[in-house]
Amino acid sequence: MQTELVNQETSPLQSPNLIGFLHSPVEHIKRLKHKAPIFKPFIIVCIVSMVYTGVISYLSVPDQSLIEASNAIHSSLPRLKLTTSIIAGLFSIIPLFFSLLIMAILLKLFLVFTHKELSFKTIFSLNIHMSAVTLLASTINLLINGITWSGQYLSYTNLGRLFINNSIWHVLFMALDPFVIWVNVLLAIGLHYLAGSTKVQIVIVISIVFLFSIAANTISLIKL
């Protein structure tokens, strides 16, 4: 019995992982108190994001838009389409990194303002691991689009498609995505266990994140 206790005390603490954030979020968020890995989970998130963006780019880019370019550079259309998709996948790392970084900076500023102590590394690691939910949503959307492809990529995990003819409701219901809500719940759990934030402080943060989500959807709608 004494030997078992010694082994438990001397055994290295387990690191959180992306899959764990999906099935045991509280346990893996608590692990961030002791270990906050960044490099390995970020590389995994980048690889999945590159594959996802590359596939969407390959499916979405119309052949007609590349025919003239392929003739100009004397390259076959499939090869040019594949090259374009790979480049799009590689460049997807840039907005991914900055979105995680900006979110971490904003959370750090909020915690400083509320006099809560939590290292920037832990916050950034939390953001990366919460991306597991976003990647799951992207994978589901990708699979459904692959089965029901109609020439345009559509999001099937939110209610925005029910209000396509009404821009205001479309933007609002795009934010009502169960996976977005899931991420917000993980953020609330993380702030509670890691920073000791109060319920009022957590509600304020989640509300701000929700408003940013609506603003992002509005900007994307304007671009379209």
H-state helical runs in 32-190? 39-60, 64-72, 77-91, 93-113, 120-147, 167-174, 178-190
pLDDT digits over 22-73, tens only?
999 999 999 999 999 999 999 999 999 999 988 888 877 665 555 555 555 5
pLDDT of residue 19: 93
R_g over Cα of the chain: 21
pLDDT digits over 170-201, tens only?
666 776 788 888 999 999 999 999 999 899 98
**Sign (positive or negative) of CA dihedral 11, 16, 17, 19:** positive
Q: Residue 9 pLDDT more than 80?
A: no
pLDDT of residue 44: 94
Residues 126-145: what's their mean pLDDT?
A: 91
Count Cβ atoms below 10 Å from residue 76 Cβ, excluding itself: 9
pLDDT of residue 64: 55
Token pair of 78 as six digits: 């499939």
pLDDT of residue 66: 58
| 144 or 77, which is more confident | 144
C-alpha–C-alpha distance, residues 11 and 5, integer Å:
10
| Residue type, position 155, single letter | S
Q: How confident is the model at residue 11 (pLDDT cuts 50, 70, 90)?
A: very low
Domain ranges of the chain: 26-223
Q: How confident is the model at residue 126 (pLDDT cuts 50, 70, 90)?
A: very high
Q: Residue 203 pLDDT more than 60?
A: yes
pLDDT of residue 46: 94
In the chain, what percentage of residues exceed pLDDT 90?
Answer: 39
pLDDT of residue 82: 79
